[in-house]
Amino acid sequence: VQLQASGGGLVQAGDSLRLSCAAYGRTFSRDAMGWFRQAPGKEREFVAAITWSGVTTSYVDSVKGRFTISKDNAKSTVYLQMNSLKPEDTAVYYCAADPSFNELLRGPMSPRYWGQGTQVTVSS
């Protein structure tokens, strides 16, 4: 079981990035998937999650209206479209998956599957 995140980079404030997370070795079509992030010196925090059907999403308040999570079950891939990036969005972003959407919402200790991180750096 493997989750592989990509798409991070160095951008300026106001720019956009799209993160991708592809799942291998398991059918994730029935799993909820999400994104977490960890800034230097801070704890890992929840960013966004989406149910297996894609119907329901949830976001941390600080990214609402700027980030959009989506899921392509045929490709076992989840995306995080990040617009209007701010320096405070700088962090390592991790994707996660769990059979339960609510487990993703509980915080970074709960998800069953994790991908490696991808660095997002936003300069002012």
Average pLDDT over residues 42-60: 96
The confidence score (pLDDT) of residue 27 equals: 67
pLDDT at 109 over 80: yes
Give per-residue pLDDT as tens, 2-24. 899 999 999 999 999 999 999 88
The closest alpha carbon to 5, from 104, 93, 97, 121, belongs to 93
The confidence score (pLDDT) of residue 76 equals: 87
Average pLDDT over residues 93-113: 92
Q: Which two tokens stand for residue 64?
A: 């609402």
Neighbours of 48 (CB within 10 A): 24
Average pLDDT over residues 73-94: 95
Instruction: Measure the CA–CA gap between 88 and 107, rounded to whole angstroms.
Output: 20
Give per-residue pLDDT as tens, 53-71. 999 999 999 999 999 999 9
The confidence score (pLDDT) of residue 1 equals: 58
CB 69 within 8 A of CB 34: yes
SS3 66: coil
CB 108 within 8 A of CB 36: yes
Looking at the DSSP assignment, which residues form a beta bridge with residue 32? Answer: 98
